[in-house]
Amino acid sequence: MQYLLLATVAALLVPPTYAQEPAPGPSPGEIAAAAPASDWVAIAASDLMVLDLAPDAQGQARRVVIQLMPAPLSQGWINNIRKLAAAHWWDGTSVNRVQDNYVVQWGDATEKKALPAGLVVVPESDYVTPGGVGGWQRFAKLLIPNGGVERYASFEKGWPVAAERTPDSVRRWPVHCYGMVGVGRNMSPDTGSGAELYTVIGHAPRHLDRNIALVGRVISGIEYLSSLPRGTEELGFYKTDAERTPIISIRIASELPAAKQPRFEYLSTESDSFARYADARANRRDPFFIKPAGGTDICNIPVPVRPVAAK
């Protein structure tokens, strides 16, 4: 199945009527585990960003791996992020904000550290990307058309995206699911340089879509961020240096020695295996579940990512 069709969110409110109970089926995890090697896509080391936090109280290392978003989405900010990582700008900065059921944010707590040369100012228009991918039919209707605008959701190169079509245009944008990484900013028209980053650690804050740039997702080590103590000040910011978690370094993985580069791959969202996986997420048929839901939100279909052993 080349095009994945996602059920409407509204379908959750009106469960489908079944002539007979569906036969038990495999779980989403079992479907992903059984996918052939040809359905998995290697993530290039140049698209992985490695965040090493200071060790925890027991002296255990805390490494977070972030996959950066592919072109053409959010490339102005991502190019800035690559420059910041190459300059080792984040070394010695910290996690400065942890807001419950919302985000973890990191960067320079002093807001005085000089940025490296060559960063660009990205316009607000780049929150969305013009044009469709693989034909409009790859998008499934998510909302009822309103005022000549249709909104849809699907997957692009392994990423959750939403889109809208008007009579004369198509635009798409990545969405704020759990673990997605975005760019902190001040008031509009500021869009952020990429020096302040955050990751979602709560219910998907979809109201941020098209209001803040998304640049990647955490694919390993989210627990080291989501389990941090919540901030004591407004919006979850920490009040003192002692509350902040130091950042040892942030590097693009290709900068690390080959033997130390993390290796991951994701399940191709254009594969038949992913189509079955997404259907199983929307309609759980494994033995624990009694009634299939008949639909699901795009953020409840996390794209499977797995580590790959070094050769």
Question: Using one digit for the tens of pLDDT, what is the confidence trace for 213-259?
Answer: 999 999 999 999 999 999 999 999 999 999 999 999 999 999 999 99
Give the strand pairing for 129-130 and 214-220: unpaired
For 20-54, write each residue's pLDDT tens digit. 555 678 999 999 999 999 999 999 999 999 999 99
Nearest to 181 by CA among 142, 154, 157, 208: 208
Whole-structure pTM value: 0.89
First to last CA, the chain: 32
What pLDDT, on the 0 to 100 scale, is given for residue 152?
A: 80
296: left (phi over 0), alpha (psi -120 to 50) or beta: beta
Q: How far is CA 231 from CA 50, 185, 187, 203, 218, in A?
A: 24, 19, 22, 18, 21
- Write down the pLDDT at residue 139: 41
- Of 133-147, 152-166, 265-279, the one with minimum mean pLDDT is 133-147
- Which of these, 305, 48, 73, 67, lies nearest to 174 by C-alpha position? 73
Contact 97, 104 (CB under 8 A): yes
Closest CA to 283 of 79, 28, 54, 82: 28
Which pLDDT does position 146 carry in this prediction? 52
**Residue 135 to residues 7, 116, 131, Cα–Cα distance (Å):** 18, 40, 9
Average confidence (pLDDT) over 185-193: 97
Burial state string for 6-44 with b = 16 or more CB within 10 A and e = fewer than 16: bbbeeeeeeeeeeeeeeeebebbeebbeebeeebbbebe
Could you tell me which residue, 211 or 285, shows the higher pLDDT? 211
